[in-house]
A and B are shown apart, each in its own frame.
Chain A
Amino acid sequence: MSLVKIINLNFKYANTDFWSLRNINLEISEGEFIIITGQSGCGKTTLLRAMNGLIPHYHQGEYDGHVILDGKEVSKHKVYELAKIAGIVFQNPEDQIFAMTVEKEVAFGLENLGIERSEMRKIVDETLQQMRISHLRFRQPFFLSGGEQQKVIISSILALKPKLILLDEPLSSLDPMSAQALVEELHRLNRQYGKTIVIAEHRLDLLSKYANRMIVMDKGQIILDNRIEEVLAKIDLESLGINEPLFAKFARFLRAKYGLELGNCLSIEEVVRRFNHAKSH
């Protein structure tokens, strides 16, 4: 059974006159690491919200179709039930901080669920260790750096033990170093703990190496959904207003200039290696 199954989903926010999602069909299996990309306003965020029930419960509008999350029809379950299966991390860290210490931030969801104190302590300990931020435990999250804040928020999601973690442009407010660190952390959660990761992002350079699948959206529709190397080889992302990863651009250039077939590459090192290899033959 797939973790997420979306069937013919259409959605229009109340007070708008265009469909933010049009005819979406999508299946996600456990353990995947998926990038959703596309220009701003293409429906990436809306799609994430639809997966954990914020649409149609929190954001109302015209909703048509089915989203099934781990066997549950999303429109028929409360957001807090779904939050235990799919956690979501939003773009701006500051809007997701409610508590005065990191540990209380992590405990927030557990408190809401009415988890007993001794059990809650245990989960908080585990989660802080899982994200390797035990040293921040008693700090005030508001005064942490952007990268640390993002980690705290991801921990607070992890505490609910979701199978699926949805992230909405988590890298946009981070400097390149912290962004890199965060991506590696996500990769670890995916590998080591088997968490399914779906990330809406357009900084593809950092992510391409770790994702197994890429979904390209345009004007509310999925226009391409395939293995990442296939997607990068198949279409010119720049024509859709998305920043193509440097290695993909480079590979395209080499292909055009020397007529060499480099195959599917996912990093600049690989492009160079294959180029040298192809040249010597």
Chain B
Amino acid sequence: MFRPEYFYFRKKDTIIHRLDPRSKLVYVIAMFVWALIRGDLLFLSAVFLLTLIPISLGKLFKNLLISLRAALFFIVLIILINYVFSHNLSLAIALALRFMILISSFLIFSITTSPDDLALALYRMGFPYDFVLTFNLSVRFIPTVMRDATNIIDAQRARGLETQKGFINRIKNYVPVLIPLIVVGIKRAINVAESMEARCFGASKKPTTLYELKFAVKDYVFIAFSFIPTIFYFLL
């Protein structure tokens, strides 16, 4: 069963949650670069272990384990395929580690960043307000749409829809779920737009914001942390 709450932002109060989203963005990009720049086991293991530090500061081990379990199939696949073609086990494992680094660094960004803050960061980077708000709303409505989907699936099952047997059959039988879901979604969108209208949406070309993002010392420290692998790069 898919558990959205492990992938969806929940407010928590850790140092990682309080970081400026822009510094987290720098971290993710840096880690992606480190993961791709070299393909040897030692370097990638060091980088992976490094990504566990923010994970533990953000109390996200459980989320990481769940994400890795969800990706297990691909991890095994990467190892198998690479081993079959290269007969080099350490390379195969290194490439799997590369994938795991992407997961564990992106997790920091996706789970600990409030979509509000991310939207604010985008707004300050010069993206248009409409775009930023659209982004914000799409994140905000994830749990709502998921609940709609669960309700529709339950309702259709109660009427005898088979959603569990056979791969093709399952896909085919999701059509009676998808169509009501889209209809409900459109109706919801109309309501949401109406109530935004009623709360002065579009009144000002340059809307103000309740908070301002501020880079603090911890953000500079975190960015510096993202560059620690430079040392590994030259030493290992």
Which of A95, A109, A140 meets B200, CB within 8 Å?
A109
A81–B210 Cα gap in the complex (Å)? 21
Pick out which of these stretches binds chain A: B136-144, B155-163, B174-182.
Answer: B136-144
A79 touches B206 (CB 8 A): no
A114, B192: Cα distance in complex, Å: 21
- CB closest chain-A residue, reference B189: A95
Contacts A54-B194, A98-B137, A98-B140; A121 near B199 (Cβ below 8 A): no
Chain A residues closer than 8 Å to B9, beta-carbon distance = 100
* Any B CB within 8 A of the CB of A240: no
**By the criterion CB–CB under 8 Å, are A107 and B198 in contact?**
no
Bound together, the chains give a CA A276 to CA B9 distance in angstroms of: 60
B198 and A79 form a contact (CB under 8 A) = yes
Stretch binding the partner chain, chosen from A15-23, A82-90, A178-186, A221-229: A82-90
The total of chain A residues at the interface (CB under 8 A) is 46
In the bound complex, what is the Cα–Cα distance between A168 and B196 (angstroms)?
A: 15
Chain B interface bracket (under 10, 10 to 19, 20 to 34, 35 or more): 20 to 34
Residues in B with CB closer than 8 Å to A114 are 203-204, 206-208
Q: How many A-B pairs fall under 8 Å by CB? A: 109
Q: Which of A96-131 contact B (CB under 8 A)?
A: 96-101, 103-104, 107-117, 120-121, 124
With A and B bound together, what is the CA distance between A114 and B210 in angstroms?
10
Check if A94 sits within 8 Å of B144, measured CB to CB. Answer: yes
Q: How far is the CA of A115 from the CA of B200 in the complex (A)?
A: 12
Could you tell me if A80 and B195 are in contact, using CB atoms closer than 8 angstroms? no
**A157 CB–B CB distance under 8 Å:** yes
Known: A100-B116, A104-B116, A142-B143. A112 touches B199 (CB 8 A): yes
CB atoms of B198 and A88 under 8 A apart: yes
Q: Closest residue of chain A to B198, judged by CB? A: A88
Residues of B within 8 A of A57 (CB): 197
Complex Cα gap A58–B201 (Å) = 12
Whether A90 lies near B194 (C-beta < 8 A) is yes
Determine if B197 and A79 form an interchain contact, defined as CB atoms under 8 angstroms apart: yes
A142 to B199, CA, bound (A): 18
A253 contacts chain B at the CB level, 8 A cutoff: no
Chain B residues with Cβ below 8 Å from A58 are 193-194, 197
Determine if B203 and A112 form an interchain contact, defined as CB atoms under 8 angstroms apart. yes
A139 to B, closest residue via Cβ:
B11
Q: State whether B207 touches A112 (Cβ < 8 A).
A: yes
Task: Answer whether A117 and B200 are a contact pair too, CB < 8 Å, given A95-B195, A99-B140, A100-B116.
Answer: no
A233 to B100, CA, bound (A): 73
Q: Does A199 contact B (CB under 8 A)?
A: no
B209 close to chain A: CB less than 8 A:
yes
Listed residue (B11, B196, B199, B212) with the most chain A CB atoms within 10 angstroms of its CB: B199
A52 at interface by CB-CB < 8 Å: yes
Q: Does A92 contact B (CB under 8 A)?
A: yes
The residues of A that contact B193 with a CB separation of less than 8 Å are: 58
Q: Which residues of B contact A46 (CB under 8 A)?
A: none
Return the chain B residue nearest A157 by Cβ.
B199
Q: Is the CB of B195 within 8 A of A96?
A: yes
Determine whether the beta carbon of B140 is less than 8 Å from that of A109: no
Determine whether the beta carbon of A111 is less than 8 Å from that of B195. no
What CA separation (Å) do A96 and B201 show in the bound complex?
13
Taking the nearest CB of chain B, how far is it from the CB of A125, in angstroms? 11
Would you give the shortest CB distance from A206 to chain B, in whole angstroms? 24
Is there a chain B Cβ closer than 8 Å to A196's Cβ?
no
Docked CA distance A111–B212 (Å) = 12
Contact B210 A124 (CB under 8 A): yes
List, in ascending order, chain B residues with CB within 8 A of A115's CB: 208
Complex CA–CA separation, A98 to B10 (angstroms) = 16
Q: How near does chain A come to B229, taking the closest CB pair, in angstroms?
A: 32
Q: Is the CB of A120 within 8 A of B197?
A: no
Residues of the B chain whose Cβ atoms lie less than 8 Å from the Cβ of A157: 198-199
> Which residues of B (209-233) have their CB < 8 Å from a CB of A?
209-210, 212
B1-20: CB near A (< 8 Å → 1, else 0) gives 00000000111000000000
The listed residue (A84, A97, A113) touching B140 by CB distance below 8 A is A97
**A138: nearest chain-B partner, CB-CB:** B11
CB-based nearest B residue for A84: B200
Chain A residues positioned under 8 Å from B105 (CB to CB)? none
Residue B114, interface by CB 8 Å: yes
18 pairs, A vs B, C-beta closer than 8 Å: A54-B194, A54-B198, A57-B197, A58-B193, A80-B197, A80-B203, A83-B197, A88-B198, A90-B194, A100-B115, A100-B140, A108-B199, A111-B209, A112-B201, A113-B200, A114-B207, A142-B143, A157-B199
List the 3 shortest-distance A-B pairs measured between CB atoms, nearest first: A114-B204, A80-B203, A95-B191
Apart from A80-B202, A114-B207, A160-B200: 4 A-B pairs, beta carbons within 8 A: A57-B197, A80-B203, A96-B191, A120-B210
